[in-house]
Chains A and B, each alone.
Chain A
Amino acid sequence: MAREDTPLDQETLDRVLAEELAKGTDRRVADGRARSAAVRAYRAAHGEAPAQAAAAPSGAPEAATQTQPAQAETPAAAGAQGMAAPAVAAPAVAAAVVPSPVREAPLPTGNVPEAKKGAPEKHRLLALVPPEGIQRVEREQGDRINVWPHLLIEEFVALLLMSAGMIIFSTFVNAPLRELANPNLTPNPSKAPWYFLGLQELLRYFHPLVAGVTIPFVIILAGLAAAPFIDRNPSTKPGDRKLAITMFTMLFMFGATLTIIGSFFRGTGYNWVWPWAQGVFFEL
C-alpha cells in the first residue's frame, strides 16, 4: 500500500504539524510526527476495518479468490498421485491447534514447477524462513587482526625457512639406496619404516593379534578418533584437563619411547644393543 493511500485524519495532521513547527522542530521530523499522529487518530476513530477496506481496490479480493481454489486443489492433486492426502493437510491442522516447533514439509513430488505467467524477470531477494530454519551464529567480536598481512607473512616465512632447511639438508645428505631387492637374502636386522618401529617393538612383548591389530587399530585409531566424544569436559584450560593431558602425554611418550627403542636400541637379530657401543642399526 502506497504511503499516499493511507487514510489519515486531516484535522489531526494540521494540528500536530502546527504544534511541532511552533516548537521549532525540523520540518521533516515535524511532518513525520504529524503524519503518524493523524494515521493513529484515523484508526482510533474508524477501527482497523476501514484500512483493509481501503486496501481492497488494489487487488486483495482477487488474490483471495485466486488463492482459495489453489489451496483446495493441493490435497486433491496429492491424492490423485497416490499419496496420502491427510499427510499434507494434517500439519496445517496440527499447527492451528498446537503450535509445533517442527514444520513438516510436504513430500517431494518430483514435479518441476512451471513459471508463473507474467512473472517478473528479476527475482526478489526475499525469502520466508521458518524460525527453526535460522542458524544463529553468535560470536564475540574479540580482538581480531587482519589475516593479510599478519598471518600470511608469518606463514610465508615459516614456509621459506622450511624450504631452505629441506634444500640444504637434501643437498648434503643423500637418501639411502641399497643394493637391488633380493627376496632370497634377508638383511639382518629387518626393520619396518621408523613410524612402525614402535609396533614392531611391541611385537617383542605381545601376541601379533594384540601388537599388530588391537593396539594400532582399536586403541590408537579408534581411541584417538573417539577422544572428543569420550572427553566431554568443555574446558580448554590446561589446569582443568589434567586427566586428559596426562593420558595423552603417556600415550605419546609410550609411542615415542617404543619407536626410539625399536630404531636405535635393536640390532642384529633384533636383539638389544647400545647404540654408542655396538653401533646404530637404523635407516630412514
Chain B
Amino acid sequence: MKLKPPSPSEVLDRFRETEVWKSMFRPGSIFRKGYKDTSRDRALATMNNVLYHLHPVKMKRHGLKLTYTFCLGGLSFFLFIVLTVTGIFLMFFYRPMADVGGAVAYGDMQSIRTSVFFGDLVRNLHRWGAHLMVLTVTLHMARVFYTGAYKPPREFNWVVGVILLFLTLGLSFTGYLLPWDQLAIWAVTVGTSLAGYSPFVAKQANFILLGGVVVGPQTLLRWYTLHVLALPFVTVLFLSVHFWRIRKDGGISGPL
C-alpha cells in the first residue's frame, strides 16, 4: 500500500480542528468556521474580533469617504503604536545618564546611530514619527471641529481629545531632551523658561519640571521617566476612554 502525503490544504483543515486552534477563536469566528463573503460572515468577522472594541459591525456609509475623516484619528493611533514599538527598541540601547564628564546618554545616542543594527533607521522613525504625530493629532482636531463632531452627545469626547493633544505635546517635548545634545537642552531650556513666568508658583513649577534650577542630569532622568512610563500610561488611559466614547456616542459623526 502506498501512503500519500496529505495536501497542504488537508493539513490546514486538520490543524483547524485541533483544540488549540479552536481555543484561540470565539465560537462563530471566521477563523473557526471558514469565511464566505456573505453579509452574515462579514458581520461575524468584526463581531468575533478584538477590533470589535474599536469598530461596530456596521457604520454609516459616509464615514468611508476619505475626505470626511482623512483617517487622521486612526493614523494618530497607529503612530502612537509605531512610536511605542520603536521606543521600546531604543530603550534597549539608551541610558538616561548625563553626569559631568560621563554623558552616557549622548554616547548611547551615538552608538545607536553607528553600531546598533538598524539603530539609525529606528531612531529616525521614532523622531519623524513623533513630529508627524503632533501634526496628525492637530489636524484631527481641526477635522473634528470643521465637521461639528464635538457637538452633543460628543462634547465630553472633545474634551478628552484636547487632553490627548496636550499629552501628545508633552510626550514629544519630554522626548526632545533625551538625545542630550545642544539642540535638546537648549530647546528644553527655552521651552521650560516659560514655566518660570507662571503666577504664584513660578519657582515651584520650574523646580518640579527640571528637578533643579537649570536643565541638568536630574532633568534628563525625570523627563526620561515621564517619556517612557508616566505619560504613555496616562495617554493609554485617555485613549481608551476616547475610543470607548466614540462607540457609545453613536460612532462616526455626520453626515454634514
Chain A interface residues (CB < 8 Å from chain B): 139, 142-152, 154-155, 158-159, 162-163, 166-167, 169-171, 173-183, 185-187, 190-196, 199-200, 203, 208-209, 211-213, 216, 221, 224-225, 227-229, 231, 233-238, 241, 244-245, 248, 252, 283-284
Contacts and interface: CB of A to CB of B under 8 A. Distances in A.
B71 A155 contact: yes
A145 B155 contact: no
Contacts of A221: 162, 166
Given A142-B60, A227-B150, A180 B194 contact: no
A159 B55 contact: no
B31 to A, nearest CB: 13
18 contacts: A146-B39, A147-B46, A149-B45, A155-B71, A159-B75, A162-B75, A166-B82, A166-B125, A175-B124, A180-B181, A187-B183, A195-B169, A208-B194, A212-B195, A213-B198, A228-B150, A236-B149, A284-B128
B58 interface: yes
B27 interface: no
Contact of B183 (A162, A225, A283): A283
B197 A146 contact: no
Nearest to B194: A212
Given A150-B64, A151-B63, A177-B179, 13 more contacts: A145-B59, A147-B59, A158-B75, A166-B82, A167-B121, A170-B121, A181-B106, A183-B185, A208-B197, A227-B150, A228-B150, A235-B148, A244-B145
Given A146-B43, A231-B151, A154 B60 contact: no
B55 A151 contact: yes
A221 B146 CA distance: 18
A142 B12 CA distance: 41
B113 interface: yes
By size class, the interface of chain B is 35 or more
Nearest to B45: A148
Contact of B127 (A162, A175, A225): A175
A241 B147 CA distance: 10
A163 B82 contact: yes
A185 B182 contact: yes
B158 interface: yes
A162 B75 CA distance: 8
A149 B42 contact: yes
Contacts, number: 203
A209 B199 contact: yes
Which 10 A-B residue pairings sit nearest by Cβ, starting from the closest? Answer: A236-B148, A212-B194, A170-B124, A208-B197, A228-B155, A175-B127, A144-B58, A158-B71, A148-B45, A178-B181
Contacts of B189: 190
B215 interface: yes
B120 A174 contact: yes
B199 A213 contact: yes
Between A175, A212, A235, the greatest number of chain B beta carbons within 10 A of the residue's beta carbon is seen for A175
Contacts of A146: 39, 42-43, 46, 57-58
Nearest to A237: B256
Contact of B146 (A209, A216, A238): A238
A212 B185 contact: no
Interface string B99-143: 000010010011001000000110111011101101000000110
